[in-house]
Amino acid sequence: MSAINNVISLVKPHVSEKQFANRQATKFFLVWFSAVSVVLYGGAYLMLGAWASPEFTTACWFGMALCTLMSAISFFITEWAVELPNDVFFGVAFGSVVVRIFTALFAFMIAQFAFHMHPIGMVVGMFSTYFSYLVVEIVYIHKKALKQGF
């Protein structure tokens, strides 16, 4: 039996506990990001279709899409930084939050001055998605930190 166990241990991929924990945190983020997206976009579809004007709806969808895209990009940057030293990882993770805030502000200004979008509709879309995804991202970073022993 020991020969069979030796062969299995050679064939089986070697995954460290740290890598397994990172995969669990990544899976957590992807599952919750998807679930939050389905709830946000489904709820927005129902509510905007029933009560909102076309201008408000367009601005709200634009704001939601912008924040969803920024959150997805932030996730990939955070995933890239996870193998870097601790101080660099946390700098990148929380720095991406600050960069997203200023990117959202700049995009809001362009949408207002260049495209004359409905301001309240855009704010509603951006706030609802930004803060929903931010909660998921903070929990994800916290899970990564706990799994890596910080």
Per-residue pLDDT, 115: 94
Average pLDDT over the chain, rounded to whole? Answer: 84
Other beta carbons within 10 angstroms of residue 112's beta carbon come to 14
Per-residue pLDDT, 15: 45
Judged by average pLDDT, the poorest of 4-13, 58-67, 95-104 is 4-13
pLDDT > 90 fraction of the chain, expressed in percent and rounded? 47
Q: Which amino acid is at 31?
A: V
For the chain, which residues make up each domain, given as ranges? 16-147
Per-residue pLDDT, 11: 46
How large is the average pLDDT for residues 76-91? 82
Per-residue pLDDT, 20: 52
Taking CA atoms, 150 is separated from 81, 83, 99, 138, in Å, by 15, 14, 24, 15
Please say whether the beta carbons of 107 and 119 come within 8 A: no
Please say whether the beta carbons of 36 and 132 come within 8 A: yes
User: Residue 2 pLDDT more than 80?
Assistant: no
Over residues 5-57, the pLDDT tens digits come to: 554 554 444 445 555 556 777 888 889 999 999 999 999 999 999 999 999 99
